[in-house]
Structure 1
Amino acid sequence: MRFEHEIIWHAYPLGFVGAERENPIGAAVQHRLPRLERWLDHLVELGANALQLGPVFDSETHGYDTRDHLRIDPRLGDEDDLRALIAAAHERGIKVVLDGVFNHVGRSFPRFVAAEAGDPEAAAWFRRDGDGWADFEGHASLVVLNHDSPAVRAYVIEVMRHWLDLGVDGWRLDAAYAVPTDFWRAVSDAVHASHPHAWLLAEVIHGDYAAFVAESGLDSVTQYELWKAVWSSLNDANPFELAWTLGRHRDLVASFLPTVFVGNHDTTRIASALTDERHLPHAVTALLTAGGIPAIYAGDEEGFTGVKEDRAGGDDAVRPPFPEDPSGLSPLGEPVLRLHQRLISLRRRKPWLVDGVYEQVRLDDAALVYRMTARDGRDAIMVALNMSDRPIEVPLGDGERILEGGLGAHEAAVIGRD
């Protein structure tokens, strides 16, 4: 299996390094990627072993309006800077995943410039919408590629192989849900044939996740259903929503390993999404005891706050600049960091959690208690999420003890044997 025991730390580089909002053609190279190298030891101390980077390729503004997939964004640095970051990560046993934006491009993408100038060969690269060009979800600056074009398919394969040859270990495929699965099947078959180790993660929000994976040949999808159920159930004191979603998640894990998360570069920070800060340990506990591949959005492990707003610049609060190195972090985030570390340590001691089997033990208005069992039946833990104002009781079996947390009001606990 390409990714099985990875725990991802996900960073949005342009925000992380405080890059300029605009990237004019011909801008001078700013060597800022080395700042991320200074955070690799923090990643290791957290317990993670994979670095997922947001867009690093030459783009017009936010990284998702790509201008050149084969050039590093000059606001971040150059190819040598990325090579050095990959080498430093690999020295620490950290895999590196890049963000591939292959549904759409920016309007200064050279072939689109040629298409607008009347080049019919270039025009065949882009999808039409009536007399104009199709755009991505109403964003006129994002021009949709024509995924029926053999030239587009060959280009995407070429780009992915280029950076895999340079040393990256996988790709997150942006807006993969908007691209036909037969396109992804052709791409994934070609990429896996030349780079069998490459892990391919699809951004999928709604729909039949298992069918998408089966049809596309990609390895994983973003588990937005579980993300939504975690904060929504905690805010509404509705354990039933989370229990239902964990049951559906169990069925997904039986066929592939979804990528699970409670925050990313497109969502309000989990510490801000929750209306009661006492429930942050519940969210982190659910994330790190669920089956699948956990991804932690940089800063969430320190309790960062930030609300995503539906307006121009509305992502800025969840994509902030980081200090030059971890010494610049506030000590106020240390309790949240320690919680992540303890739960990741538990997950390392029980690696079977990656495809563990969920079973509901208790479900009522006060709490959700569930058991996660190894597929060979040789080990298990219980997870208790108390959403009420009163303590709950969970009888301990022979040799069982509380491994993390507690069972008081609004507390989360993990129970098992070590």
Structure 2
Amino acid sequence: MIKEAIFHRPKNNYAYAYDKDTLHIQLQTKKGDMDSVELVFGDPYDWVNEKWQMKSKEMLKSGSTDSHDFWFIEVKPEFHRMRYGFRCSDSKETFYYTEGGIFPSAPSEIHNYFCFPYLNNIDVFNAPNWVKDTVWYQIFPERFGNGDKNFNPEGALPWASADPSPTNFFGGDFQGVIDHLDYLEDLGINGVYFTPIFKAYSNHKYDTIDYMEIDPQFGDKDTFRTLVKECHKRGIRVMLDAVFNHSGYYFPPFQDVLNEKEHSKYKDWFHLRGFPIVQEPIPNYDTFGFVGSMPKLNTENPEVKKYLLNVARYWIEEFDIDGWRLDVANEVDHAFWREFRKVVKDAKHDAYILGEIWHDSMPWLQGDQFDAVMNYPFTNGAIDFFAKQVISTDQFANTISKVLHMYPANVNEVAFNLLDSHDTPRILTLSHNDKRRVELLYLFQLSFVGTPCIYYGDEIGMAGGQDPGCRACMVWEPENQDLKLFHFVQKLIKLRKTVPSFGNKGTFKFLQANNIDNTIVYEKKTENERLIFVLNNSDKKKWVSLQELSNKTCQELLTEQTITFEKDAVVNLEAYGYKCYKL
């Protein structure tokens, strides 16, 4: 066995408290290198005749990537503390892997073993429970619905009368959202994520002028309060977008810096590298990217910190919003986010805190900062496989298995699983306008672990390329909507809500990933229920042999047909076809 490939640390995703009584332990080994792994463990204070008392329990191989196998076990130490190691075996040898090294037999000295000192309840990662059962809908307010033309910005165009551009306006507003809440409720949505709504110069509003004011084109605070109340009446939670990494060019403190230069009382609100302020060839102050109109805020400055934390509290206490999505979250200091969490949770204990981070986010997901991040590793894997078809079946399985093992299970359960957004081309465009691929994307997303998000209009077949193409006006004429796709998504959301193993209560595992046929098989399972999904990601008919269905009678959930399989269970799939069998 390749001993140097074994990895474990008694923290983060490798050893963590799942709840107040339960520990999850994970071990990483070289792929295909071991036949079995057992956890050897015991209470550190349990000694008899000067000998530490330990027991063993077999670990489950929970998944694999192209390089590694992952072994998993759940244990409930009676006294909430544990020392442990791993007994690793193949057909030729057995050894013990511990913090102190690798031993041919169980080491007698307890200091050699990994230590989980004590399971303190306050240390359990504790995201809001309601998020696990939420299906989000992302709304770009300027483009969703124009409900009150009195708020139209100057020069607003008639709805959908032109292609979207970085500078044009169509008058989308809060009343336009209120007018279509019944549509969202009918689809099955119970969470709405709004891109920024605060006063700003642009149509996208990521260049904030005033964090305490609604942008006039959307309405006023009374209208927003009504919107939140109407959402809550329908069981729909509301999450706002907070742009705390940077402000807009017309943010009054930055304007003061431009005018007063080194004499400005706000000069320490930003990261300035000299005077006078210049934007060309690149700004001499820190910005989002190199965008001069988005100066980076100094969140270490006490005045900046106080201002932004007041913003975080204000919109929860005054308007009863349910969460914050945090733009460019990885570029803001960790100390700020720790204080942000305390303020937000004090204002509303079950508010959802979601960071926009596109890479491995474990440093932000340890219970002291965010509840979740936008799960772009999931997004990229799903898009590359189903939509673009640029990765193989086993590459996709490797990617998703890696996603599942990057974080603790209680983090994965609230991960924000999106397929596209205002920052990416739409899924129909990415799928080369093949709606069969879009259906596969939705089936996989809505049956996966986490909290899924639908970008407005995707569910009725809207297309669009990279920004600004993905920010077109919502299509409201039924004759121009793909109602077949709408009803398909609606059915998946209903299954997610009514079949426990379909949604977040079911554990996920790949059963097959066939490169030749381009088919995948995966299961979702609870203690009392098992679902088997079979997906054909190709433009040809496929036949998939499934020993798991041999001599079984089960229900196919998408057609609601009852099917009895023979001993040689074979599933016939049309091009881009799919099945979901409930055992």
* TM-score (normalised: structure 1): 0.89
Distance 2:248 2:481 in 1: 40
Aligned twin of 1:53: 194
Task: Look up the SS of the partner of 1:70 in the other structure.
Answer: strand
Aligned twin of 2:499: 350
AA at the equivalent of 2:409: A
Within the alignment, does 1:250 sit opposite 2:404 as a pair?
A: yes
> Which has the larger displacement, 212-221 or 295-304?
212-221
Distance 2:348 2:506 in 1: 28
Task: Look up the SS of the partner of 1:4 in the other structure.
Answer: helix
AA at the equivalent of 2:233: E
Distance 2:463 2:272 in 1: 40
Bigger-Rg structure (1/2): 2
Aligned ranges 1:131-170 → 2 under 5 Å: 132-165=284-317, 166-170=319-323
Whether contact under 8 Å (1:6, 1:48) holds in the other structure is yes
Within the alignment, does 1:239 sit opposite 2:405 as a pair?
A: no
Within the alignment, does 1:125 sit opposite 2:269 as a pair?
A: yes
Aligned ranges 1:7-406 → 2 under 5 Å: 7-17=135-145, 20=153, 32-61=173-202, 62-116=204-258, 117-118=260-261, 119-129=263-273, 132-165=284-317, 166-206=319-359, 208-214=360-366, 217-234=369-386, 235-236=389-390, 238-251=392-405, 252=407, 254-256=409-411, 257-275=414-432, 276-308=434-466, 315-323=467-475, 326=476, 328-352=477-501, 353-354=503-504, 356-365=506-515, 366-374=518-526, 377-388=527-538, 389-395=540-546, 396=549, 398-404=552-558
Q: 1:124/1:329 Cα in 2 relative to 1: closer, same or farther (>3 Å)?
A: farther
Distance 1:351 1:199 in 2: 22
Distance 1:359 1:204 in 2: 25
Distance 2:442 2:273 in 1: 43
| 1:331 shift after superposition | 5.0
Distance 1:401 1:331 in 2: 34
AA at the equivalent of 1:347: R
Distance 1:69 1:22 in 2: 24
| 1:40 shift after superposition | 0.8
AA at the equivalent of 1:35: G
| 1:129 shift after superposition | 4.2
AA at the equivalent of 1:122: Y
AA at the equivalent of 1:305: A
Q: 1:383/1:74 Cα in 2 relative to 1: closer, same or farther (>3 Å)?
A: same
- Unaligned 5+ segments in structure 2 are 1-126, 147-151, 157-170, 276-283, 560-571
Distance 1:145 1:192 in 2: 23
Aligned twin of 1:407: 573
Task: Look up the SS of the partner of 2:226 in the other structure.
Answer: helix
Distance 1:211 1:380 in 2: 34
Task: Look up the SS of the partner of 1:236 in the other structure.
Answer: coil
Whether contact under 8 Å (2:312, 2:340) holds in the other structure is no
Whether contact under 8 Å (2:523, 2:532) holds in the other structure is yes
- Please identify which structure carries the higher helix content: 1
State how many pairs are aligned: 399
Whether contact under 8 Å (1:237, 1:387) holds in the other structure is no
Q: 1:121/1:96 Cα in 2 relative to 1: closer, same or farther (>3 Å)?
A: same
Distance 1:223 1:346 in 2: 22
Q: 1:164/1:332 Cα in 2 relative to 1: closer, same or farther (>3 Å)?
A: closer
- Please identify which structure carries the higher strand content: 2
Query: CA offsets, 1:282-329, max 9 Å, x none?
Result: 101111011000111110111110001xxxxxx232112225xx4x24
Distance 2:581 2:362 in 1: 31
| 1:130 shift after superposition | 5.8
Aligned twin of 1:26: none
Query: CA offsets, 1:19-78, max 9 Å, x none?
Result: 65999xxxxxx8931111111111111111111111110001120000001111011111
Distance 1:253 1:270 in 2: 28
Whether contact under 8 Å (2:245, 2:332) holds in the other structure is yes
- Indicate the structure whose relative CO is greater, using CA pairs within 8 Å and at least 6 residues apart: 1
Question: How many percent of aligned residue pairs carry the same amino acid?
Answer: 27
Query: CA offsets, 1:234-254, max 9 Å, x none?
Result: 223622232122212323361
* TM-score (normalised: structure 2): 0.65
